[in-house]
Amino acid sequence: YYGKLAVGSVVLNRMENSSFPSTMAGVLYQPYQFTPVTVNHRFANILARGANEECYRAARDVMAGNRVGSWLYFRMNDGSRTGTVIGDHVFY
């Protein structure tokens, strides 16, 4: 759940940063940014069938202001990037 909050926080943090699009769709669909959205289309498949309740809860919480960091990026943690590790990802 905390990882989902972290990903949502990255999206909203980017929306507020002038280096990124100012809309959620703009951030999510920006080329080469979110692999599940632009490369393997996993995001579209989940939207089509409906996400699980934990995903919806995390999204509602982040939208209500429950952000967990000021990060702008995250990636799979392979040990090459420093940052805050949450699950299999590093946020920075």
Q: Tell me which of 40 and 27 has the higher pLDDT.
A: 27
Digit-coded pLDDT (tens) for 51-81: 999 999 999 999 999 999 999 999 999 999 9
- H or E element, residue 86: strand 84-86
DSSP bridge pairs for 17: none
- pTM exceeds 0.95: no
**DSSP code string of 28-71:** HTSTTT-HHHHTS-HHHHHHHH---HHHHHHHHHHHTT------
Cα–Cα distance for residue pair 35/49, rounded to 1 Å = 19
Digit-coded pLDDT (tens) for 17-34: 999 999 999 999 999 999
pLDDT score recorded for residue 40: 84
